[in-house]
Amino acid sequence: MILVTGGAGFIGTHTVRALAEAGEECVLLQRRAPQVPPHLADLPIHVVQGDVADLEALLAVGRQYPITGIVHLAVALPWPVTDSDPIEATGAALDAFLNIVRAAQAWGVPRVVTASTIGVYGFTSHGALTEDVPIPFRHFHAIPTFKKITELLAAHLSDVTEVAIVNARISGTWGPGGHLPDPFFPAPSLAHAAARRDEPDLSGLIAPPHAEDALDLLYVKDTGRALALLQLAPELQHSTYNIASGRATSNADVITAIRSVEPGFRCELPSGGDRPVSWLDIARLREDTGFDPRYDTAAAAADYIAWLRAGNQR
């Protein structure tokens, strides 16, 4: 059985589905009542109430179920900023990650796949980014900062324990169940507007978008499948993998894809974007797991809009 923390969330939901399709039973750890979420009710899953910050509750999961692998996707970051003491919140966030490793060691789990982010690369590089390029160690946002810290801790703990901790650097991800608005890129807001046959509200982005702005954009069903492959691969040659499409997708590309589904979609983004165009190299992931994205931008837009028009909320 595979323990998936954050398994009822955005990327977690699709990871659980991919694991189930591969024949695995999953155990979900969630803070809320231990009930199977309605959108996962058709899968062979078990739900346990608990929090990764509570080590005793976490260890109890392994006494109840034979856990053989862990995919750690639960958000354990002192962000967004709350009224709690920032130093205490930082300590709790780091301890939550350490608890996962403690549990893996106690249960004899050989591999933990933990979510990192494309943000660790920063936003000033051009071209293909491999897992071996130098990472800028400056702080500009809590999420990539803490992912860099946990990547370093993962390398150390993998070296001194029997647990192999695999960092999955997840690219920009969109699709069913995703964040709205996503503060970093407009694709989800564009898809929602097209599903409503309305003009998009892009005011929630941290920076005004331009037509030329591009990033490595991956449909969430592919993201979940890639994470499942990393957990289930018989052997991995590396400790860090890009989870991505392997190409740059501009906002203009997304709008063109959406218009292939909804020809009347209206959205005119200004030109003038000067952000560097980069993407994540996925040769390592492809070689070790056989992964290739199944959704190009047009297929992703069609699937997402159809899902939204079927009455789903996010």
pLDDT of 4-22, one tens digit each? 999 989 999 999 999 999 9
Q: For residue 4, what are the β-bridge partners?
A: 28, 71
The predicted model gives 145-153 an average pLDDT of 94
pLDDT, one tens digit per residue, over 39-79 is 899 999 999 998 898 999 999 999 999 999 999 998 766 55
Instruction: List, in order of start, the domains of the chain with CATH numbers.
Output: 2-173+218-243 (3.40.50.720), 178-216+249-309 (3.90.25.10)
**Which pLDDT does position 63 carry in this prediction?**
95
The predicted model gives 272-280 an average pLDDT of 87
**Which pLDDT does position 142 carry in this prediction?**
84
The predicted model gives 31-42 an average pLDDT of 85
**Which pLDDT does position 91 carry in this prediction?**
87
Q: 228 versus 35: which is more confidently predicted? A: 228
The residue behind tokens 């929630």 is 204
Burial 116-129 (b: 16+ CB within 10 A, else e): bbbbbbbeeeeebb
At 272, the pLDDT band (50, 70, 90 cuts) reads confident
pLDDT, one tens digit per residue, over 177-188 is 998 888 889 999
From start to end of 7-50, where are the E strands?
Answer: 26-30, 45-49
Tokens in use for 143? 């999420």
**Which pLDDT does position 273 carry in this prediction?**
75
Omega prior to 110 cis, within 30 of 0: no
pLDDT exceeds cutoff 80 at 82: no
At 83, the pLDDT band (50, 70, 90 cuts) reads low
Tokens in use for 57? 């509750």
How many percent of the chain have pLDDT more than 70?
96
